[in-house]
């Protein structure tokens, strides 16, 4: 009889759905486990609703009450508990891919629960008071749950060391789930098509303080002022940009800001039209867009931070590295990239896909996940 695995994801925003989907596909490929999925989805409904289809339980939560349940998650936990009790917990193993704002009251068998931690420390956030409080509450809940459960895993070697130092217990590592290949369609992104942008530098992802959007905008402004260079730059994602940086965007015609969440089927078009993907992060624990860049054979410009260096093959470099938190360094790196020959850029493109195969290849991930499960489930 196959062992039950509950795969629980309490955050549908951003890349967490794709992250959890990739783990689910790998578990199905391994084939030794009876997989039950529990997933939270925000929806334009008036009250919490639960649907089940083929061993996948979806908890629909009213979008308007998202922050209420963030502060008071007991009702969500009760719903998850009811699902678990209905199916039965005997000999079941629990995978929590993202505890998010929930699960702090949830009963889980400590010796059969795996918590995957993505951020070993809170990221920088904007001056918004509610966001700062939210990050602190989330961090506190993850720490509390980490002390309770037996198994903790992460997808970064650097974070593995950091978490072991923090919690004084063994932290497991398995590779970042490769979800880039899940998104293959190329629905046209209207903003890019209407502005006739192509062969642009791309930043993609939620616009957060720690991702260095200010560094990127300042560097493009330096190129314009000091070198009279105006490469096309697309910033795609929902979030907060300070007023002074929005003024720069409005002043420079070569920057296109797509200030919204992009549909999954737009991602293929967004990356396929890009010349290079930029990661101007100030701090980083993991990055989903990095594997998109590699999958679509795009050169990258990354800040010299742990996660990026872990996934940057120096024998087959996929691009250039700049100093973190320095707009001057990024401006100079962009200047250098603009002066690369076609053959040098093509070499980066080829290396980019080599990096994808090395770090995010699905068969390799499936085998690594299988080895990891065998290690923790045998005791």
CA distance linking residue 9 with residue 12, whole number of Å = 7
Q: How confident is the model over 88-146, as pLDDT tens digits?
A: 777 788 888 877 666 666 677 778 888 888 876 656 655 566 667 777 777 777 777 77
Give the residue, 180 or 340, on which the prediction is more confident. Answer: 340
Q: How confident is the model over 242-297, as pLDDT tens digits?
A: 999 999 999 999 999 999 988 878 888 999 999 999 999 999 888 889 999 999 99
Query: Which structural domains are found in the chain, ordered by start?
Result: 3-178+361-377 (3.40.50.2000), 182-359 (3.40.50.2000)
Reported confidence tier of residue 183, pLDDT bands at 50, 70, 90: low
Q: How confident is the model over 152-178, as pLDDT tens digits?
A: 999 989 889 988 988 888 999 989 998
Instruction: State yes or no: pLDDT of 346 exceeds 90.
Output: yes
Write down the mean pLDDT value for the chain. 88
Give how far the C-alpha of residue 262 lies from the chain's centroid of Cα atoms, to the nearest Å: 14
Q: How confident is the model over 190-240, as pLDDT tens digits?
A: 899 889 999 999 999 989 889 999 999 999 999 999 999 999 999 999 888
pLDDT at 133: 75
């Amino acid at each position: 009889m196959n062992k039950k695995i509950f795969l629980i994801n309490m955050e549908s925003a951003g890349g967490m759905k794709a992250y959890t989907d990739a783990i689910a596909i790998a578990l199905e490929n391994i084939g030794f486990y009876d997989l039950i999925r529990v997933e939270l989805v925000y929806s334009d409904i008036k009250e919490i609703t639960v649907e089940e289809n083929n061993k996948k339980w979806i908890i629909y939560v009213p979008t308007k009450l998202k922050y209420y349940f963030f502060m008071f998650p007991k009702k969500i936990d009760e719903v998850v508990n009811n699902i678990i009790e209905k199916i039965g917990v005997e000999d079941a193993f629990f995978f929590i891919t993202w505890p998010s704002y929930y699960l702090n009251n949830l009963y889980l068998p400590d010796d059969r629960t795996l918590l995957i931690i993505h951020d070993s420390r809170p990221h920088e956030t904007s001056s918004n008071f509610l966001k700062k409080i939210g990050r602190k509450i989330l961090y506190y809940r993850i720490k509390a749950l980490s002390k309770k459960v037996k198994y903790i895993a992460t997808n970064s070697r650097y974070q593995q060391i950091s978490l072991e130092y923090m919690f004084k217990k063994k932290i497991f590592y398995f590779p970042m789930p490769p979800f880039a290949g899940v998104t293959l369609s190329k629905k046209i992104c209207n903003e890019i098509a209407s502005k006739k942008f192509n062969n642009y530098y791309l930043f993609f992802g939620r616009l957060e303080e720690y991702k260095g959007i200010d560094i990127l905008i300042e560097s493009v402004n330096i190129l314009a002022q000091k070198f009279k260079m105006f490469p096309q730059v697309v910033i795609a994602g929902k979030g907060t940009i300070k007023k002074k940086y929005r003024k720069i965007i409005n002043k420079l015609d070569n920057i296109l800001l797509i200030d919204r969440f992009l549909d999954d089927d737009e991602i293929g078009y967004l990356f396929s039209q890009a010349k290079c993907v930029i990661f101007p992060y100030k701090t980083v624990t993991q990055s989903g867009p990095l594997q998109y860049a590699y999958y679509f054979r795009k050169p990258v410009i990354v800040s010299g931070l742990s996660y990026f260096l872990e996934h940057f093959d120096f024998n087959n470099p996929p691009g250039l590295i700049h100093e973190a938190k320095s707009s001057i360094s990024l401006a100079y790196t962009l200047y250098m990239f603009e002066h690369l020959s076609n053959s040098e850029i093509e070499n980066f493109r080829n290396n980019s896909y080599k990096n994808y195969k090395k770090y995010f290849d699905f068969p390799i991930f499936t085998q690594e996940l299988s080895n990891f499960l065998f290690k923790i489930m045998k005791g």
